[in-house]
Structure 1
Amino acid sequence: MSTMSAKAVIRIEHADGALDACASAEPYALMVLGDSMLPEFAEGEVIVVEPEGVAREGAFVVAFHEGEHIFRQLLRREERWLLHPLNSAYADRPIDGLGAVKGVVIQKQRPGERGSRKSYVE
């Protein structure tokens, strides 16, 4: 494991005032922290998340689980949804339903490398 993968936490604080409904549905970018999604997603890569994306089995998603946002692959096993890390050093996390999914990853890119963009939409 990398030294940053212990459990890097970045607090997201909302700006004063309410967000309008349109802004909350806009795609946003996040930086990958840790090694739980190796080999497909390396620490430092930037992912673009579509909050209105369709969460299908096998999709890479951002979900709210046990009080935190988590980036994983969405899988279905024996009638249960799981948040699955690609790195086998980490455990699957079961979720009660798709309501926990807050967005679907549609793209990734390594910072500073124009040709490194990869799309995850059909």
Structure 2
Amino acid sequence: MSNECSYNELYPLQVLDDSMEPEFPEKCIIVIEPAEVCATGAYIIAEVDGERWFRQYISEGEGKKRLVALKPGYPEIDLQGSEFKILGVIVQRNLRRKIKHYSPYVPDNGTPQPSSLN
């Protein structure tokens, strides 16, 4: 198989901290779809100044973009003036055999809405 095909394949990662709780508890498995673009409100894996992050992407127009943790106490990552690349978008969370899918659908308010499947 060529590298081009594998780039487009979904891949899993385990969440190693509590920064994205309660939606993504520590040790849950997230499934990532490789992508370089996303809508505001999407949960993503991104590289900022050489470091990788799992955060929610917020774009407020006029170049104001940031990554935020869901759990209070973690700092926002301001993307203005940073080397920034989206590596993938979270499309699924697996927690104790319960699966939750995140749809690429974006409603009028600009925030992707999760959908549950058990």
Deviations 1:87-113 (A, max 9, x none): 11101101248x511100000011xx3
Name the amino acid aligned to 1:104. V
Indicate the RMSD between aligned Cα atoms, in angstroms.
Answer: 2.1
TM-score by length of 1: 0.74
Match of 1:35 in 2: 18
After superposing on structure 2, the runs of 4+ consecutive aligned residues of structure 1 that deviate more than 2 Å are none
| Structure 1, gaps ≥5 residues long | 1-18
Tell me the alpha carbon deviations over residues 35-71 of structure 1, each in whole angstroms, 9 at most, x when there is no partner. 1101111110000000137510000000001322110
Q: Displacement of 1:77 after TM fit?
A: 3.5
Alignment correspondent of 1:48: 31
Q: Which runs of 5+ in 2 are unaligned?
A: 106-118
Structure 1 or 2: larger helix share? Answer: 1
- Select which of 65, 72, 79 maps to 1:88: 72
Aligned length: 101
Relative to total residues, which structure has the larger strand share, 1 or 2? 2
Whole-Å Cα distance in 2 between the matches of residues 48 and 54 of structure 1?
Answer: 16
